[in-house]
Amino acid sequence: MSAEEFAERAIEAQEAERARLAREIHDGIAQRLASVGFHLSAALGALPPSGGPSAHEARRQIEAARELAGLAFAETRAAIAGLRPPVLDDLGLSAALAGLAREASARQPSLDVTVTVSGELDAPLPDHLQTALYRIAQEAVANVLRHAAALSASLLLEFDRDRVRLIVIDDGRGFDPRLIPPDSYGLRGMTERAELLRGRLTLRSRPGDGTTLRTVLPLP
């Protein structure tokens, strides 16, 4: 087999695998999410209209869950189509990060999350860089919520002449980066995203001393 043929077959295999994944997501996760939304709507309908404070709180929580199911459904569709996360189209990166921060504080009221954007760009940040930074921030915030038990977290987005930096800092319990479980995907996925764009992701953490995750991507 010639080198070209080999490369061609490798790409074909990759495309086939991608198509398989898209099908799985579409037929599996997306369908399930649609059913979750359906059941949540039914639950809302079944709540007594004037049921006092606990029914009011239940309604609020179910509405929030239904909205999240809807967002997750839209995200799976976008992922299948290879598109960027829909919030970026609606809001742009800075506002999308602010949305992430708001959602995180809503889920963990003891946690205060701030977003700071500094520097300016001559041209708009290319879509694929926005997507990568948003996805990295999303996983970093998910990790803070899940693992850090932090009181505060900051997202810093810094534009420079030739690079953009995203720094996520929390004051939580920290961890030893040498002891990351082999079956965890989050940090590996973030690192791969950064490297694909010729960037770098660095992690600084120590038990008892919070975590800082730093992503630097070169600008075109």
Ligand X SMILES: Nc1ncnc2c1ncn2[C@@H]1O[C@H](COP(=O)(O)OP(=O)(O)OP(=O)(O)O)[C@@H](O)[C@H]1O
Binding site for Mg ion (CB under 5 A): 143, 186
| CA 84 to centroid of chain Cα atoms | 11
Stretch that binds ligand X, among 14-22, 35-43, 93-101, 138-146 (CB under 6 A): 138-146
Contacted by 37, from Mg ion, ligand X, none: CB < 5 to 8 Å by type: none
The correct pick among 84, 135, 147, 165 for binding ligand X (CB under 6 A) is: 147
| Structure token pair of residue 203 | 């992690």
Residue 175 in the binding site for ligand X (CB under 6 A): yes
Phi, psi of 35 (to 5 degrees): -65, -40
Which residues are within 8 A (CB) of 135 and not within 5 positions of it... i.e. 6 or more apart?
85, 190, 193
The correct pick among 133, 172, 215, 217 for binding ligand X (CB under 6 A) is: 172
| 29 neighbors 73 (Cβ within 8 angstroms) | no
Nearest to 167 by CA among 193, 195, 201: 201
When the beta carbons of 16 and 180 are compared against Mg ion, the nearer one is 180
Residue 148 in the binding site for ligand X (CB under 6 A): yes
Nearest to 103 by CA among 117, 92, 115: 115
Residue 211 in the binding site for ligand X (CB under 6 A): yes
- Least spacing, CB of residue 142 vs Mg ion, in Å: 6
Give the binding site for ligand X (CB under 6 A).
143-144, 146-148, 170, 172-175, 180-181, 184-187, 211
